[in-house]
Structure 1
Amino acid sequence: MSKLAFFLNETDETQVEFAKRVGVSQGTVSKLCAGQITPSLPLAVRIARATEGKVPVDAWVRDTA
């Protein structure tokens, strides 16, 4: 489970509500939660701000080492 999915589950906020807050579609939030896509840096910053840092920008960085 992604940090975003965990956040939404813990706060009982719907993907639709969160999508409106960060300016994307519900489908984008769904794909982010499922790990199917990675947000752009500007979107990652908006997510971090919208979650008050509970889903930080570096949550999307994958360790490839």
Structure 2
Amino acid sequence: MLREWLLCDSKNEAARRLFIAPSTLSTHIARIRDKYEYCGRSASTKASLLCRALQDGLIDIEDL
């Protein structure tokens, strides 16, 4: 879900591609942010989540 959201312009577009409600996607993104915050690696913006995903190998720059 994170990868799809990072590749889309909006949560609505990502949710549509994933066949889920935008609120479900928002819940998942919030949980991912909470996990990063718990580890002391804040990711409060889409850009910071992108950086974390790249750092952690969850996505590759070629995916973008």
Q: Is the structural similarity TM-score above 0.5?
A: no
RCO higher in structure (CA 8 A, sep ≥6): 1
Tell which structure's C-alpha radius of gyration is larger. Answer: 2
Q: Give the TM-score, by structure 2 length.
A: 0.40
TM normalised by structure 1 equals 0.39
Structure with the largest fraction of helix: 2
